[in-house]
A and B are shown apart, each in its own frame.
Chain A
């Protein structure tokens, strides 16, 4: 941010035009995430479109997807948002120890989720359910894989923040990267609820 730019923000703050609650960066992140969320919306729409067209999707064995194991994985992913919140609220008070511990917790839980997804994939592939298995395979692996990609990006994001935190880059006043990482992580969590419902829960309801 140039100095002239900084002065503009100051003038706006003096006139009370910039709400005191959120920074410009926060708003930028919100709009970026909302656009990203719509990619998921489109993929979910494509998933449902193909599923309705096919009538009834089953695995090569004739069963539905197993829901117990992914549900367990879901709990871990949703739970990983808690240490992320602790990390951000920690650094907001200047508590660097809580920041590091919180980030570590989120990273570990996120990695467990990702490992779980990999395990599920190998399991399915060993049953001959692959990317090429009808439209079901295509849609399933694309949608969940795209989410997995987002988890991976989120993890990289958090690891970079962790390294910066260990180097002491963040203070109580200046820690937007932590906030952004937390926002992105919540997004990845929330969107998983929609993906999980579409892929695993909906077939249960349809029977």
Chain B
């Protein structure tokens, strides 16, 4: 408002509010990394609910033998969309969201390096997600499994022999175009993260003093930059095969369906580390804070993350043991897969050593972090079992694999995401999430996960194949399937508790101070929620725990340790 004086008369000119100053307009037009981070997280959780409902439909169908809840065609679509949604539209966006919100704060920056590119990445993701989901409205949801193997992904031209197995409709096109869009979003985000982390760290924060979450986001971003091109190429060739008359994956014309598998998994295996590495970072932030100790073996955690990043590009064909690779290739991929277990185990030992001897406070973030370590360990061990080729022959494409991937992705990633959510919620909103409800959610989830996915190990060993829409009643699978379905409902209940908790806490939760957990890193050196500019003065860093140094100057890290 301005009050110019004209002559003797005073006129008050009310400036019209711009769209970007209204509440909705601010969210629509923002380039602030914190708002974009929250949008990513909320979008991710929305798709988590979508994918979760698809999972419940699957478990309802499988709860009893010879069930008719879903038709075979619908079942195919539902499990395909469950995988696609969870991986591309839940885990990646949520982890990108945490990275967006936390990384600039952690490294003492005012924003990401390219704020507008950041907003662009979010909006492309949102519309890409809507695009893929809209396939349901057009009656053509992708239905070839989330890795959409050739020839399931081809039109008739490609598989004259097995014409019934092909998709004539737009189903596979929705998938291919959708993941291409999501790829654009991820590349934009990754370029931004890499430049931000490499170039915008606060003065004094050498790469050696970077918080571990930032380390892992950096490794993840490089993985995305170098792995996504494989998916882009694979999906591009698929679209050409389907619509332009090329023969890349068409066996009848000299193409090779295995080419799809090679391209897809040389994206897909780095991808699984993309889904877990940022969570490793979160856990490495949360465990030390709630154990009141510095992290044990910082260097090992950081560099084992880098080792995982490199090795993840050499293991893809362990998804393809059963396709008849030459023995030398099988030996190579079995070895590299076993090798990658080493840096992962290094991390587990470091986390245990971090807790060991600490004054542990069992707040909800800590509960989820500990749950993560335990569940991820199971997922890692049965994964190492799958690296043994003869064993893989036996259980490939059975529920054993489903058990493995859900222990790592649900017991691992989702537990980690909830640990991060309970940990950073006070910073993002200025309110605590309810402690009691959080405990209820944690125990429900822990029981639910093991009830759902542990029986699947046995189902797999008993020979139940994945992706079958139903099974006969006399195979001895009934009780275990019922248990798994009850477990899935328990998880659903836990998620309801979480949603209730968020709503209640936002409305009248306990107000959080700036530093509620007595934490170590710079994001807690801001108000809760942080001001638009994050830091009034750009902090100067002298050790790995800059905020700890500031709070306890007499016993500051930089006085005793040199890194």
Contacts and interface: CB of A to CB of B under 8 A. Distances in A.
Interface of A: 1-2, 4-5, 7-9, 11-12, 15, 17-18, 24, 27-28, 31-32, 34-36, 38-39, 41-43, 46, 49-50, 53-54, 131-132, 134-135, 137-139, 141-142, 146
A188 to B, nearest CB: 16
Q: Mostly helix, strand, loop or mixed at chain A's interface?
A: helix
B130 interface: no
Contacts of A134: 247, 253-254
Contacts of B203: 11-12, 15, 17
Contacts of A11: 203, 538
A28 B247 contact: no
B228 interface: yes
B110 A42 contact: no
B233 A43 contact: yes
A36 B109 CA distance: 28
Contacts of B198: 27
A42 B233 contact: yes
A28 B229 contact: no
Chain B contact residues (Cβ within 8 angstroms of A): what range?
Answer: 35 or more
A17 B256 contact: no
A115 to B, nearest CB: 23
Interface of B: 31, 109-111, 113-115, 117, 187, 190-192, 194-195, 198-201, 203-204, 225-226, 228-230, 232-234, 236-237, 240, 244-248, 253-256, 259, 262-263, 266, 532-534, 538, 540
A143 B230 CA distance: 14
B110 A132 contact: no
B225 A31 contact: yes
A12 to B, nearest CB: 7
B323 to A, nearest CB: 14
A39 B229 CA distance: 5
Contacts of B253: 134-135
Given A38-B225, A42-B266, 9 more contacts: A4-B110, A4-B111, A4-B533, A27-B199, A31-B225, A53-B256, A135-B247, A139-B248, A146-B236
A17 B132 CA distance: 43
Nearest to A36: B229
B195 A31 contact: yes
30 contacts: A2-B110, A2-B111, A4-B534, A8-B200, A9-B200, A15-B203, A15-B204, A15-B540, A18-B199, A28-B117, A28-B191, A31-B194, A31-B225, A32-B187, A35-B190, A35-B191, A35-B225, A35-B226, A42-B232, A42-B233, A46-B237, A49-B256, A53-B256, A131-B244, A132-B245, A134-B247, A134-B254, A142-B246, A142-B248, A146-B236
